[in-house]
Amino acid sequence: MQRLLLDDLDGSNDQGALLAEVRRAVQASQRCIVITGAGISVSSGIPDFRSPDGLFQQLKQKYPSSVSTGKDLFDATLFGDPGMISLFYTFMGELRNLISRANCTPTHAFIKEMDEAGKLLRCYTQNIDSLEKRIGLETSLHTSGDSPDISTPSSPPPSLVSDSSVETEDSTAADKKTRAQRRRRQTTLDRTFTRAVQLHGDLDNVVCTICHTKYPFTEQLAEEFCEGAPPPCPRCKEIEMIRDLVGKRSVASGVLRPDIVLYNENHPQSELIGTLSEYDLKRRPDLLIVIGTSLKIPGIKRMVKEMAHSVHACAQRAKRAGAGKVIFINRDEPPKGWESIFDYYVAGDADRAISLLPIVPSPATEEARPAAVVRRKRVPAAKRAAGITAVAVKKKPGVSLSSLLAPTNGRVDAARKLAASGAVAKPRVVPRKLTSMMKVVKSSVTVKRQQKALPQSPSSSPVMTPS
Q: Nearest approach, Cβ of 230 to Zn ion (angstroms)? A: 12
Phi-psi bin for 216: left (phi > 0), alpha (psi -120 to 50), beta?
beta
Position among 9, 19, 208, 341 found at the interface with Zn ion (CB under 5 A): 208
Q: How far from each other are the two terminal CA atoms of the chain, in whole angstroms?
A: 74
Q: Which helix (H) or strand (E) holds 33?
A: strand 32-36
Contact with Zn ion (CB under 5 A) among 201, 230, 254, 285: 254
Nearer to Zn ion, 211 or 341 (CB): 211
Residue 165 CB, nearest distance to Zn ion (Å)?
18
Assess whether 312 carries a catalytic annotation: no
Q: Which is nearer to Zn ion, 214 or 320 (CB)?
A: 214
Return the beta strands (E) in 254-378 as ranges: 256-260, 287-291, 325-330, 344-347
Q: Near Zn ion by CB under 5 A, which window of 19-27, 78-86, 209-217, 451-459?
A: 209-217
Closer by beta carbon to Zn ion, 213 or else 403: 213
Residue closer to Zn ion by CB (options 208, 356) is 208
| Site stretch for Zn ion (CB under 5 A), options 20-28, 49-57, 250-258, 416-424 | 250-258
Catalytic residue among 108, 142, 200, 309: 200
Question: Does 243 participate in binding Zn ion (rule CB under 5 A)?
Answer: no
When binding is defined by CB under 5 A, the residue of 235, 243, 325, 411 that contacts Zn ion is 235
211 binds Zn ion (CB under 5 A): yes
Could you say whether residue 195 binds Zn ion (CB under 5 A)?
no
CA 380 vs CA 82, 373, 393: distances in Å: 90, 22, 14
| 3 state DSSP class of 340 | coil
In 445-464, which positions are buried (b, 16+ CB within 10 angstroms) versus exposed (e)? eeeeeeeeeeeeeeeeeeee
Q: How far is CA 357 from CA 26, 187, 314, 404, in A?
A: 7, 37, 22, 9
DSSP H helical segments within 163-285, as ranges?
A: 168-187, 219-226, 234-245, 270-282
Alpha-carbon torsion (69, 74, 80, 82), positive or negative: positive
Determine the interface stretch with Zn ion among 15-23, 229-237, 244-252, 285-293 (rule: CB under 5 A).
Answer: 229-237
Q: Which is nearer to Zn ion, 189 or 211 (CB)?
A: 211
Q: Considering only residues 233, 289, 414, 425, which one is a binding residue for Zn ion as defined by CB under 5 A?
A: 233
Restricting to residues 143-182, which ones interact with Zn ion according to CB under 5 A? none
Chain positions contacting Zn ion, by CB under 5 A: 208, 210-211, 233, 235-236, 254
**Catalytic site positions:** 200
